[in-house]
Amino acid sequence: MKPKLLFHVCCAPCSGFLSTKLGKDFDLTVYYDNSNIFPQEEFNRRAQEAKKFFESQKINFILAKWEHDKWLDLVRGLENEPERGKRCAVCYRYRLKNAVEYAKDNSFDVFATTLSVSPHKDSQLLSEIGRSLSQEYGVEFLDEDFKKNDGFKLAMEFAKQLGFYRQNYCGCEFSKL
């Protein structure tokens, strides 16, 4: 029996390829929790693109509620931080905390995030946050930098082959500036 993995995803382009890889070793469930994404239409578009793909692959898809006002409260005062700055650290922790709480409440063995596949994300910081939350909640963290071994390149090739919608910004309104 494969361990149950809750895989936090940000979008289909970053996670589609990785899910095919992880599905070999884990009983995979995808968890879409991205209250940072703005506007809500963008959140919905990314969520529907991911849902369509994962359901076609017979992979469980969990859509978390969009709570952008709550996310804005968390990052208040950090609006002018650069990409990979303090705002991003708060955002990573918020989304990974939601994921590990869901994993714990629903008896998952492991949790992970697709965020480390992006060259725009701080993989070392994601790893530190994931390990810390793992200790706090007692759910194993799959600590992997998915961009290694051409992970980002392969994910983007996979996304292009399948014609995924691909956005041109992280998701939050402050990354568009």
Q: Three-state SS string across the chain, please?
A: CCCEEEEEECCHHHHHHHHHHHCCCCEEEEEECCCCCCCHHHHHHHHHHHHHHHHHCCCEEEECCCCHHHHHHHHCCCCCCCCCCHHHHHHHHHHHHHHHHHHHHCCCCEEEEHHHHCCCCCHHHHHHHHHHHHHHHCCEECCCCCCCCCHHHHHHHHHHHHCCCCCCCCCCHHHCC
| Domains of the chain as residue ranges with CATH | 4-175 (3.40.50.620)
Tell me what percent of the residues of the chain surpass a pLDDT of 90.
93
pTM assigned to the model: 0.96
Mean pLDDT score of the chain: 95
Q: How confident is the model at residue 176 (pLDDT cuts 50, 70, 90)?
A: confident
Confidence check: pLDDT of 33 > 80: yes
